[in-house]
Amino acid sequence: MAQLKVGDFSLDLDEDGFIQQPEKWDKNVALALAETEGVNELSEKHWKLVNYLREYYQKFGVAPMIRKVCKDTNMKLNEIYELFPSGPAKGACKVAGLPKPTGCV
């Protein structure tokens, strides 16, 4: 199983690079995950999106609808793709420490 090194500990990743233990997520994990996505720095806008996803996930146990993300963060879909080139689910949610989306989505 692939590993993500964060400082002096490491986390298990699934085959698509999502962390397996969402409860171990913190800001340093986010930075390390962002690097795997080719995003080397997280701007204020990145954090706004990541924190929104994180809070929603902690409240509801699932990722939010993309439409809702756009409305609540006041970002357009293409802006999200500019921040995270693999998109809201495979990029932004991964960095926010959410598990991979499931079902017909």
- Does 102 participate in binding another protein (rule CB under 8 A)? yes
- Does 23 participate in binding another protein (rule CB under 8 A)? no
Nearer to another protein, 31 or 66 (CB): 66
**Measured distance CA(96)–CA(24) in Å, rounded:** 11
Torsion, Cα of 100, 63, 75, 44 (10° steps): -70
Nearer to another protein, 5 or 41 (CB): 5
Hey, what are 89's tokens?
């689910």
- Does 27 participate in binding another protein (rule CB under 8 A)? no
Nearer to another protein, 65 or 82 (CB): 65
Helices 66-73/44-60 angle, 10° precision? 130
**Measured distance CA(5)–CA(77) in Å, rounded:** 30
Hey, what are 49's tokens?
């999106």
Q: By the 8 A CB rule, do 13 and 25 touch? A: no
Active site residue 70: no
**Binding string, 39-78, against another protein, x = CB under 8 A?**
---------------------xxxx-xxxx--------x-
Task: Note the residues at the interface with another protein (CB under 8 A).
Answer: 2, 15-16, 60-63, 65-68, 77, 100-105
Residues taking part in catalysis: 104
